[in-house]
Copies of this chain bind each other. A is one copy, B any other.
Amino acid sequence: MKSFLRRGHVIIESVEPQVDCGRYRAKAIAGDDVDVGADIYRDGPSVLAAAVRFRGPGDKKWSEYRMTHVDNDRWVGSFTPDRIGDWEFAVEAWTDRFATWRRDLVKRVEVGQDVDAELLEGAQILEDHLKALPAAERKKVRETIVSMRLPAQESTSGFEDPRIKAALDKGTAELMSKHHSRSGSTVTKPALQLTVDRELARFGAWYEFFPRSTGRTGEHGTFDTAAEELARIAGMGFDIVYLPPIHPIGTTFRKGPNNTLDPGEDDVGVPWAIGGPDGGHTAIHPDLGTFDDFKRFTKETERHGLEVALDFAIQCSPDHPWVTEHPEWFEHRTDGSIRYAENPPKKYQDIYPINFDTEDREGLWTELKGILDFWIDAGVKIYRVDNPHTKALPFWEWAIGAIKAEHPDVIFLSEAFTRPKVMKGLAKLGFTQSYTYFTWRNTKDGLTEYMRELAGTDMAKYFRPNFFANTPDILHEYLQTGGRPAFKVRLVLAALLSPAYGIYSGYELGENTPVAPGSEEYLGSEKYQLVQRDYTAEGNLNRFITRINRMRKAYPVLHHLTNLTFHQVDKPNLMAFSKSLAGETSILVVVNLNPYHWEEGMLTLDLHALGLDSWATFKVHDLISDETYEWQGAQAYIRLDPFSEPAHVFRVLR
């Protein structure tokens, strides 16, 4: 009973943003508004007030902003985290006695009731609050009190009564609203947690390439030759260069070109078969260079305005030092051998998975986090995590939490392609960004439905998609068969639907030959061999990619995910979407998904989403073709020929 007796009248429910009842952190970006909503109500007709309370990393005191009532007992407010790290917020709501009294006074006066007694009560409420007011403001309120307590005058009545005028004084109302007693207020507990990241966690263009392929013809590349690519990559407008594992590669059961089992002496092996006599996850492949070479490479990336992302793959080749130093970290078969990786009936003898159920969990986890600490010390703040869905989930929650507590600027990209709830689970457990099903969403319906899930559901609170248009593992049939137009279409979609996107090198050359019909693997895959390219080869998409990346940077609406609207086009291969933000130029994209043939159709715009009135006359300027059209109203004729340009990217001019 005691605990109930102490409770306030006000109930606060359904606070947003909230992930799984507060079990997980929602995500935000420093400098972005965090919109907070809550259902707030109490018994009776009292006027309520509410505030969102928040504090950032290291803050002892809470700050707060007032919330406002929208409709149907829903209140909203917002705050803007000014720095990265773990933030928390809560909602406080209380009864505003003075505002309630004031509202009722108006109702009484409106019907001509005698309010002498009410005025004395209102004056008493003010007097009760005098001490809570800033000293400088007390005089004003004291005067109000005195006026309210004047004897009634026959000559004035209703709203002309000077007592009532004083009681309804706006300044007094504002002061009281600001300083009103919160006795009996309700505060949501526990506070909700929020991971606040830097902008690159939301918005960035990734470029994946294998440093070992950057050597002169036939030679193994080094960090120095890789650094020579940076100007080209930065010039195309990318923000992040992601390198597959740079560690020593095992020789036992090494794979040959095209995943063959009998490699030659010169075959370079798979970078994900990590570890050999030269070391494991904290060592560098000797052919790439030294640790100093790597440091020089990262300096160069910085100089080009780029940032390095490394691969974090928790698995070992049979030659990894841990195999002898920590055999207890692997699973052993009944014959004593270490269990290699399998996805029955497939066998991967060149890879030993780590046994997260080892007796020495603490030792293992500490060592794994130590790898991250090592590379963070070396200045690497972005990690593309290989197959996190096959490693113990509690490990990720702990490791990412521990790393980000010390280094809130670190970004973890989850490379999981698995069942929807597991992908979501990894994001909830802490991954900053996530690979997606984007490569397999190639139809208008498929793309629209997927975007509605990513941008329009609870997922947007914690799951930040990164749309890779290709990866060394995924060359989709659409790209295999659709030629140059297909590569343009998928680039436009990846780069303009998702604030974070990426390509794997070779994309700009339209590389599209699969190892076998029906396979999504590349022929001569770079996973198993060096692939040296002439990036200036005819037909390259360098300029197209550059133009798209420039648009991304130039238009703030493209830096966000949830500001997306789909527009109707009456043809299944024509898809239209826009992004808008208050005060910013809207971008409207129309894509012909058919890479083989021109398509024409009628576009019906959601003008409201574009901030336009019905029947507005407005211009759209195509940032690809540089043409400008004048449109009126919601409908516009569209014709897109993949062999000139398969997409319009319009900026909408008012």
Contacts and interface: CB of A to CB of B under 8 A. Distances in A.
A4 B41 contact: no
Given A1-B402, A344-B108, A20 B13 contact: yes
A591 to B, nearest CB: 29
Interface in A386-438: 388-395, 397-398, 402, 419-422, 425
A290 B107 CA distance: 44
A393 B43 contact: yes
A364 to B, nearest CB: 10
A419 B11 CA distance: 14
A419 B345 contact: no
Contacts of A73: 419-422
A390 B420 contact: no
Contacts of A199: none
Of residues A13, A184, A390, which shows the largest number of chain B Cβ atoms within 10 Å of its Cβ?
A13
A343 B124 CA distance: 21
A38 B44 CA distance: 37
A577 to B, nearest CB: 26
A343 B393 contact: no
A391 B391 CA distance: 53
A389 B46 CA distance: 12
Of residues A1, A361, A362, A402, which shows the largest number of chain B Cβ atoms within 10 Å of its Cβ?
A1
Interface residues of A, number: 59
A333 B117 contact: yes
Interface in A340-366: 342-345, 356-357, 361-362, 365
A292 interface: no
Contact of A1 (B344, B362, B388): B362
A175 interface: no
A362 B1 CA distance: 8
A565 B389 CA distance: 41
Interface string A85-107: 00000000000000000001001
A639 interface: no
7 contacts: A9-B356, A13-B20, A13-B421, A39-B421, A73-B421, A108-B345, A120-B334
Given A11-B393, A73-B422, A113-B345, 15 more contacts: A9-B356, A9-B392, A13-B20, A21-B21, A21-B22, A39-B421, A41-B421, A41-B422, A43-B389, A43-B390, A43-B393, A73-B419, A73-B420, A73-B421, A121-B333
